[in-house]
Chain A
Amino acid sequence: SAVISQKPSRDICQRGTSLTIQCQVDSQVTMMFWYRQQPGQSLTLIATANQGSEATYESGFVIDKFPISRPNLTFSTLTVSNMSPEDSSIYLCSVLRGGLYGYTFGSGTRLTVV
Chain B
Amino acid sequence: AQSVAQPEDQVNVAEGNPLTVKCTYSVSGNPYLFWYVQYPNRGLQFLLKYITGDNLVKGSYGFEAEFNKSQTSFHLKKPSALVSDSALYFCAVILGDNFNKFYFGSGTKLNVKP
- Seen from chain A, the residues whose Cβ lies within 8 Å of a Cβ on chain B are 1, 4, 6, 9, 31, 33, 41-45, 48, 58, 92, 94, 96, 99-101, 103-108, 110
Contact = CB atoms under 8 A, between A and B. Distances in A.
A4 B41 contact: no
Nearest to A10: B41
Interface residues on B, range: 20 to 34
Interface in B22-71: 32, 34, 36, 41-46, 49, 51
A103 B41 CA distance: 19
Given A100-B32, A100-B94, A100-B99, A42 B42 contact: no
Please classify the interface of chain A as helix (H, G, I), strand (E, B), loop, or mixed, using the class held by over half of its residues.
Answer: strand
Contacts of B94: 100
Nearest to B42: A107
Contacts of A96: 99-100
Contacts of A4: 43
Contact of B101 (A41, A45, A106, A108): A45
A48 B100 contact: yes
A100 B100 contact: no
